[in-house]
Amino acid sequence: MDFNDILKGVQKAGEDIDKQLKQIGKDIDNQKRKIFNEPIQDENIEENEIINKTEETISKENKEESIRTVSTVDIDSLNPYQVVSSNSDQILLNVFEGLVMPGTDGTVIPALAESYEVSEDGKTYTFTIRKGVKFHNGNDMDIKDVEFSLNYMSGKLGNAPTEALFENIEKIEVLDDSHIAIHLSEPDSSFIYYMKEAIVPDENKDHLKDIAIGTGPYKIAEYQKEQKLVLSKNEEYWGEKAKISTVTILISPNSETNFLKLLSGEINFLTNIDPKRIPELDKYQILSSPSNLCLILSLNPKEKPFDDIEVRKAINLAIDKNKVIQLAMNGKGTPIYTNMSPVMSKFLWNAPEEQADPEKAKQILEEKKLLPMEFTLKVPNSSKFYLDTAQSIREQLKDIGITVNLEMIEWATWLSDVYTNKKYVASLAGLSGKMEPDAILRRYTSTYPKNFTNFNNARYDVLVEEAKRTSNEEKQIENYKEAQKILSEEQAAIFLMDPNIIIATEKGIEGFEFYPLPYLNFAKLYFKK
């Protein structure tokens, strides 16, 4: 036997000893696992496979700690009283709470007020304030915070009222440490729905724009303007605590990029899914429901040629709403004929179904010597849905001799040009749903400062006002239905559709609830074990 043979024997013996030692180690580990009821390692599993599985488990655990999503536009403000867009509202309702909060059935449920009473004349609301509520800074909420917030939102501190409705608040009266009364100048059936407006700490009154302090199940952990917003679980929340510790909302204006973020796993929750992309999401959970949103084509009646009602009606006749729904939503939407979604069935006017008639539309415009016609349509770039809708309208109007120039504009520009200053000829607008009809229909009253459609009809104003002031529900319904009929007959806008809201989530995310207003209630979400 030469030296090489001896060396090979020694090496083999060493390898055998190593194997024996590894096996002994495994046996010891398995004995431990038996004692602690842990799964036993299969001796045939390779070490790297075990490592990979461990890494997968850790990754899964980390994933389950957070919701990761995007918003195409940044929040309007950290100040809840300056929030305008539904995109902001649906997120910040997780941070700020009112005396009441929205329920899934369109009613209001007690929140920072554990109960309330309404006087017989409908002019006084008395709230019993909940005890044991803490703000996100750790301080207790007390009656003075409620008083300050109500005075601020009603414009009694020298600022403009948060809602026009709050101008009806005559007096805010602290009765004792637990009760506060709001006295209205006249009855208002809509009032209670607006008490979801945020209650904030008195001590933060000079820093509302800079520091967000609410009472909700989530608090703002990080905010980088136009980049991201991070919500963290409020461990001291008075009610049922959130089940997921962190929600990260990236600010990402490009819908296609956002879709790719979902496919790559960078995010695990995405709203406003393009219905045409659903077949690509077989590995994801799809949630869908009517959105209680009215998509309209607003033709400014203060701009020619749309100051002529017959021209507005001709444009309406030229547009096949079902074709728009098919192109923009892959058929997942409902045509509307007035400014109210079918979700609001209790108050909805039963409009006769319209039939598109492009030839008749063309005839009307030819008689008025308006063809060929050309106008600019302002389109918010916050969603591909708007662009698809605009393209469908452009193609249909092209067929009767109308050239529509699409002007894609930033959301902030749309708010400035259209919503605030009313500088437009035509614009698409998605009017988000509310919990009660006055909030939907008052948008068209002549006295409403945010009536960007410039619609003006005296009879309409009276109907909406009377419905608001009566406690007779039958009379309310009658008035609201007649008001909707006027919107249709006077062609206040081209009423297009209520698009379905479509949400895609990672499989295993449960608990999502749809509301009749924009509200992503992250606190209800959990990962199925």
Spell out the domain ranges in the chain. 67-72+216-283+507-527, 96-204, 293-500
With beta carbons less than 8 A apart as the criterion, state whether 473 and 467 touch: no
Question: What's residue 469's pLDDT?
Answer: 86
Question: What's residue 483's pLDDT?
Answer: 98
Question: What's residue 59's pLDDT?
Answer: 44
Question: What's residue 31's pLDDT?
Answer: 43
Q: How many CA atoms lie within 13 A of 268 on its CB side?
A: 20
d(CA 349, CA 477): 9
96-204: which CATH architecture? Alpha-Beta Complex (3.90)
Tell me the CATH class for 293-500. Answer: alpha beta
Question: What's residue 159's pLDDT?
Answer: 85
Question: What's residue 35's pLDDT?
Answer: 35
Structure tokens at 385: 């849905």
Q: From 162, 169, 195, 196, select the one nearest 183 (Cα to Cα).
A: 169
Q: Could you tell me the CA-to-CA distances from 402 to 133, 310, 318, 361, 458 in Å, in that order?
A: 59, 16, 10, 11, 32
Q: From 304, 233, 293, 328, select the one nearest 429 (Cα to Cα).
A: 293
478 — alpha (psi -120 to 50), left (phi > 0) or beta?
alpha
Measured CA angle at 454 (ends 452, 460), to 5 deg: 115
d(CA 104, CA 126): 24
Question: What's residue 339's pLDDT?
Answer: 95
* CATH code of the region 67-72+216-283+507-527: 3.40.190.10
Q: What are phi and psi of 495, to 5 degrees?
A: -85, 120
CA dihedral 307, 311, 316, 317 (to 10 degrees): 170
Residue type at position 30 = N
Taking the chain (529 residues) in runs of 10, the rounded mean pLDDT of each run is 43 50 48 38 38 40 75 93 89 97 86 94 94 98 98 90 85 98 91 93 94 97 96 97 97 94 97 90 93 95 97 98 94 93 88 92 97 97 90 97 97 94 96 84 94 97 92 86 98 96 95 90 94
Largest CA distance in the chain: 116
Question: What's residue 65's pLDDT?
Answer: 76
Instruction: With H, G, I as helix, E, B as strand and everything else as coil, classify residue 70.
Output: strand
- Give the residues across from 230 on adjacent strands: 222, 248
pTM more than 0.75: no
- Give the residues across from 290 on adjacent strands: 500
Structure tokens at 291: 């959105």
